[in-house]
Amino acid sequence: MNWHSQPFESVLEYFKVNRNNGLNEEQVKQHRQRYGENRLIAKKAKSNWALLLEQFNNPVIIILIIAAILNAFISDIKDTLVIVAVVILNTIIGFIQERRASDALKALEKMAAPHARVIRDGEQKHIPTQEVVCGDLLVLESGVRVPADGRLIESNNLLVDESMLTGESFAIEKRHDAYVPENAPLGDRVTMVYSGSIVQKGRGIAVVTAVGQQTEFGKIAQKVSEAEESQSPLQVQIAKFGKGLSLAILIVIAIIFIIGYLRGNEFVLMFLTSVGLAVSAIPEGLPVAVTITLSIGLSQMAVHKAIVKKLAAVETLGSTNIICTDKTGTLTKNEMTVTKFVLGDDIYHVTGAGYGVKGFVIDQKTNKVIDFNYNETVKIATYISALCTESVITKEGDQWKITGDATECALMIAAKKLNFNSDNYKVFVDIPFESEHQLMGVRTEIDGEIYILVKGAPEKVIQRCKYSLLADGSLSEIDQQKIEQEITQLSNEGLRILALAYKKVSVNNMVTISDLVDLIFVGFAGIEDAIRPEVVKAINDCHRAGIKVVMITGDHIKTARSVAKKVGLVPKGVEPYAITGVDLNNMSDEELYKIAPKVDVYARVVPEHKFRIVKQLQLNKNIVAMTGDGVNDAPALKQADIGVAMGSGTDVAREAAHMVLLDDNFATIVEAVRRGRIILNNLRHIILYILSTSAGGLLTIASSVFLGFPLPLLPAQLLWVNLVTDGTSTFPLAFEKEHGDVMAFPPRKKDEPLVSKDMVYRIILSALIMAVGTLLLFYFYLGGSFHPDSETLAKARTIAFCTLAFFQIWNVQNSRSLSRSLFFNLPYSKTDRLDRVSLSKNLVLLAVMLLALFLQVFAVTTPFMNVVMDTVPLSLTDWLIVFSTTFSIIIIVEIHKFINAKLNYRKKIQSSN
**φ and ψ of 603, to 5 deg:** -120, 155
**How many whole angstroms separate alpha carbon 740 and alpha carbon 835?**
7
326 included as an active-site residue: yes
Contact between 637 and 653 under an 8 Å Cβ cutoff? The reply is yes
Residue type, 344: G
- CB burial of 207-225 (b: ≥16 within 10 Å; e: otherwise) equals bbbbbbbbbbbbbbbbbbb
Contact between 659 and 317 under an 8 Å Cβ cutoff? The reply is yes
**How many whole angstroms separate alpha carbon 754 and alpha carbon 236?**
10
CA angle 660, 661, 667 (to 5 degrees): 140
Q: In 3-state terms, what secondary structure has residue 751?
A: coil
Beta pairing partners, 53: none
The secondary structure of residue 100, as a DSSP letter, is: G
Burial class (CB in 10 A: 0-12, 13-18, 19+), 527: buried
Helix (H) or strand (E) holding 411, with range, is helix 406-417
Which DSSP string corresponds to 618-663? HHTT--EEEEE-SGGGHHHHHHSSEEEEETTS-HHHHHH-SEEETT
**Long-range contact pairs involving 851-857 (C-beta distance under 8 Å, separation at least 24):** 851/728, 852/724, 852/725, 852/728, 852/729, 852/805, 852/809, 853/806, 853/809, 855/724, 855/728, 856/724, 856/802, 856/805, 856/806, 856/809
Task: Tell whether the torsion through CA atoms of 317, 615, 166 and 17 is positive or negative.
Answer: negative
**How many whole angstroms separate alpha carbon 510 and alpha carbon 366?**
41
Helices vs. strands in the chain: H and E counts, helices first: 31, 30
The secondary structure of residue 506, as a DSSP letter, is: S
Contact between 341 and 350 under an 8 Å Cβ cutoff? The reply is yes
Residues 260/265/269/274 CA torsion (nearest 10 deg): 0
Q: Which stretches of 708-789 are DSSP H helices? A: 715-724, 726-729, 757-782
Q: Which of 388, 391, 418, 387 is nearest to 403 (CA)?
A: 391
**How many whole angstroms separate alpha carbon 63 and alpha carbon 216?**
47
Contact between 504 and 448 under an 8 Å Cβ cutoff? The reply is no
Q: In 3-state terms, what secondary structure has residue 439?
A: strand
Contact between 225 and 17 under an 8 Å Cβ cutoff? The reply is no
Please list, in sequence order, all residues whose beta carbon lies within 8 angstroms of the beta carbon of residue 369, skipping any fewer than 6 positions away: 360, 361, 362
Count the Cβ atoms, other than its own, within 10 Å of residue 721. Answer: 28
Q: Which of 835, 833, 827, 817 is nearest to 890 (CA)?
A: 817
> Helix crossing, 843-861 with 790-814: angle to 10°?
180
Catalytic residue among 326, 515, 529, 555: 326
Q: In 3-state terms, what secondary structure has residue 90?
A: helix
**Long-range contact pairs involving 511-518 (C-beta distance under 8 Å, separation at least 24):** 511/430, 511/431, 511/441, 511/443, 511/452, 512/430, 512/431, 513/431, 513/437, 513/441, 515/452, 516/431, 516/439, 516/441, 516/452, 516/454, 516/464, 517/464, 517/466, 518/464, 518/465, 518/466, 518/467
**How many whole angstroms separate alpha carbon 788 and alpha carbon 610?**
74
What amino acid positions are annotated as catalytic residues?
Answer: 326
